[in-house]
Amino acid sequence: MPAATDTTDARQVLTLKQRAGRLLFPRLPITRFLFDILRDETAAWWVRTKNVCLPWRRSRLRRLRATRDVYVNVACGPQVLADYVNLDLRSTNPSVVTCDARRDLPISDGAARGIRAEQFVEHLETREELPAFLSSCYRKLAPGGVLRIIVPDAERYLHAYCSGDLLGFWELEVPNPFPDDLPTRMDVINHVFHQWHEHRWGYDFETLEHRLRAAGFVRIERARYRSSRDAKLAQDRDVHAPYSLYVEAIR
């Protein structure tokens, strides 16, 4: 769950979304859930189509596949890292390579020294997209390369729920008081697992370790905020630190 300490600002953002929803969704012949899926899948299809059809994009991807010893920042969003191949479906910077990274990364097998995916894996469909993504990471890493995954820590939220008080939630920087649209502890838990359908699964270390082993990784370990086997990978975002699980898998 995104950290928020100013509940007034959080409510203003939600109010803007609600205003847009009041205008748009009652006029649609489909549900908001289906609209969101179609919007995202259309954006992914459009990016894939442009990467195939536009000569300058094909040339850029061809050059990228020829590079070696790279670091990859998957679903970079606003965190565009220097000396990285920054990937995202929606570009926020000219240096970002726009692609659909859910099933394959646009680099050659064995070309990556490190891959980081911060707050991305929980957005993947767990039966098809997640295995495809993890298998791609395994192939793309050079021997000894490190995959660093950062997700909301479902175990910590469940401990907070079971504790009988609200202290655990405050430690995870859930807004105090809870937001108007998440008024109960179970609402907060559901938001962590679903986030209005944007999240597809919740992960603790045991579950993420299981998925990584299924993709071929053998050496899997917990990591900590801003601490990594490869120091270059430990460029974690402060905003996610209070509630995140850090896991590394070594090729």
Transcribe 183-226 into DSSP letters. -SHHHHHHHHHHTTTT----B-HHHHHHHHHHTT--EEEEEBTT
- The full set of domains in the chain, from first to last, is 7-53 (no CATH), 67-151+215-251 (3.40.50.150), 154-202 (no CATH)
pLDDT, tens digit, for every residue of 169-199? 999 999 999 999 999 999 999 999 999 889 9
Query: Residue 102 and residue 132: Cα distance in Å, rounded?
Result: 7
Backbone angles phi, psi at 208, to 5 degrees: -65, -35
Average pLDDT rounded to a whole number, residues 18-37: 77
pLDDT, tens digit, for every residue of 75-126? 999 999 999 999 999 988 999 999 999 999 999 999 999 999 999 999 999 9
Classify burial at 203, counting beta carbons within 10 Å of its beta carbon; exposed 0-12, middle 13-18, buried 19 or more.
buried
pLDDT, tens digit, for every residue of 123-177? 999 999 999 999 999 999 999 999 999 999 999 999 999 998 999 999 999 999 9
The 10 Å Cβ neighbour count of residue 88 is 23
Residue of 218, 198, 202 lying closest to 210 (CA atoms):
218
Residue of 202, 246, 240, 191 lying closest to 78 (CA atoms):
240
Residues, the chain, total? Answer: 251
Is the separation of the CB atoms in 161 and 185 below 8 Å?
Answer: yes
Query: Residue 98 and residue 75: Cα distance in Å, rounded?
Result: 9
Q: Which amino acid is at 205?
A: F
Query: Residue 110 and residue 90: Cα distance in Å, rounded?
Result: 26
Q: Is the pLDDT of residue 8 over 50?
A: no
